[in-house]
Amino acid sequence: MARDTVYRTEDPGEPFRFNDEVAAVFPDMLRRSIPGYATSLEAIGSLAARYVRDGSNCYDLGCSLGAASLAMRQGIRAKGCRITAIDNAPAMIERCRSIVREECLRDPAASPVDVIEGDIREAGLTNASMVVLNYTLQFLPLAQRDAMIRRVFDGLNDGGLLVLSEKVVDPDPAMEALLVELHHEHKRRNEYSALEISRKRAALENVLIPETVDKHRDRLLRAGFSSAAVWLRYFNFVSIIAIR
């Protein structure tokens, strides 16, 4: 796995982008930066086994290199399903296609995966039993998030599942400061320097906009989801499951 050294060398002041340099080190970047990332993928596999129905569609929105799509693919027990993986970053999609192709050669019997370069805000979602937004909604402008979640709700069949993982902000400023500090400590343990951490933080400012858990829960319930619960929290990183 190529080592993430993007912010050892990057000019500070440039906003974060999902470009070729980032895509080349992305698995290492997420593994060292997002506490609970590997756990979120494991759960996506288990949830796919439970929730994906025969003849239905699964969507991985903001798929990056397709890790959640492949977790679903490995978990699905149902027959005649299709997985659609969508991302608007060409550097991600190019690599995702070759990773998915290799996995489909290794295990040809599992569900087919369509990898699509496109904007998730325009994706046509139909007959879905499972939709994954694994750390993606946080990159949409705040004003567009309600519409995105409604679009997901409309595309899901009754009983269908959304997995929504996000970086969040705590409403209590003292708690927020502590959680941010714990996250930075976690990154230092994972061998990011203080300079890399602060450069990355500045680059993500106004690019990744976190909300509170309550905001996410309210939005899901307003869209029509019958229930929503946090199943994972590690510092300021949460994963929520919501059922239509």
- Interface contacts to ligand GEK, rule CB under 6 A: 18, 30, 62-64, 67-68, 86-89, 92, 119-121, 134-136, 139-140
C-alpha to C-alpha distance for 166 and 211, rounded to whole angstroms: 9
CB of 79 to ligand GEK, least distance (A): 25
CB of 198 to ligand GEK, least distance (A): 17
Q: Please say which residue, 53 or 95, places its beta carbon nearer to ligand GEK.
A: 95
C-alpha to C-alpha distance for 165 and 90, rounded to whole angstroms: 23
| Residue pair 183/234 in contact by the 8 Å Cβ criterion | no
CB of 211 to ligand GEK, least distance (A): 15
Q: What is residue 52's three-state secondary structure?
A: coil
Looking at the DSSP bridge assignments, the partners of residue 58 are: 83, 130
User: By Cβ distance, which residue is nearest to ligand GEK?
Assistant: 62
Q: Please say which residue, 30 or 162, places its beta carbon nearer to ligand GEK.
A: 30
Residues 6+ apart with CB under 8 A from 75: 44, 45, 46, 47, 48, 49, 52
Q: Please say which residue, 70 or 213, places its beta carbon nearer to ligand GEK.
A: 70
Q: Please say which residue, 43 or 223, places its beta carbon nearer to ligand GEK.
A: 43
Q: Please say which residue, 68 or 213, places its beta carbon nearer to ligand GEK.
A: 68
List C-alpha distances in Å: 220 to 6, 149, 230, 234. Answer: 35, 7, 12, 21
| DSSP letter for each residue of 125-147 | --SEEEEEEES-GGGS-GGGHHH
CB of 127 to ligand GEK, least distance (A): 21
CB of 156 to ligand GEK, least distance (A): 18
- Give residue 86's identity as a one-letter amino acid code: I
Q: Please say which residue, 111 or 136, places its beta carbon nearer to ligand GEK.
A: 136
CB of 140 to ligand GEK, least distance (A): 6
| Residue pair 222/148 in contact by the 8 Å Cβ criterion | no
Residue among 36, 39, 6, 33 at smallest CA distance from 187: 33
